[in-house]
Amino acid sequence: MEKGLKVSGVIILLLLALVGWYVLLAQKPDILARARVRYNQAVTQKIDLSSGPCLGIIADGWVLDIAHLPRQPIDDLPQNQCQHFSHFVEMSPQGEVIHVE
């Protein structure tokens, strides 16, 4: 039973990720590309992504925030939150898109 719940949870998360990609691509095609570039810059600069930092502005009104999936308490610390944004892309420390809003 537990294994079935875990598999169901993974499937749901994958479906949500796919919906997020679709919404993002339909609304603002370059946002995902900008998020990926900023993520790759952070990796190249060896920024510690394990703490779930805000990686800053990627476009007018858009920020890139790193968070964990599932969300962890460290993700809600003020120093790990992006400030002053209208929209955000949330990616895991491994570069997976979690949420786009």
Domain boundaries, the chain: 2-100
In sequence order, which residues have a C-beta less than 8 Å from that of residue 4 and are 6 or more positions away? none
- Predicted local confidence at residue 50, as pLDDT: 94
Residue with tokens 């476009």: 59
**Residues facing residue 62 across a β-bridge:** 59, 87
- Please indicate, yes or no, whether the overall pTM of this predicted structure exceeds 0.75: no
* pLDDT over 60 at 1, yes or no: no
| Mean pLDDT to the nearest integer, 20-45 | 83
CA distance 44 to 39: 9
CA distance 24 to 51: 25
Instruction: Classify strands 97-100 and 87-91 as parallel, antiparallel or unpaired.
Output: antiparallel
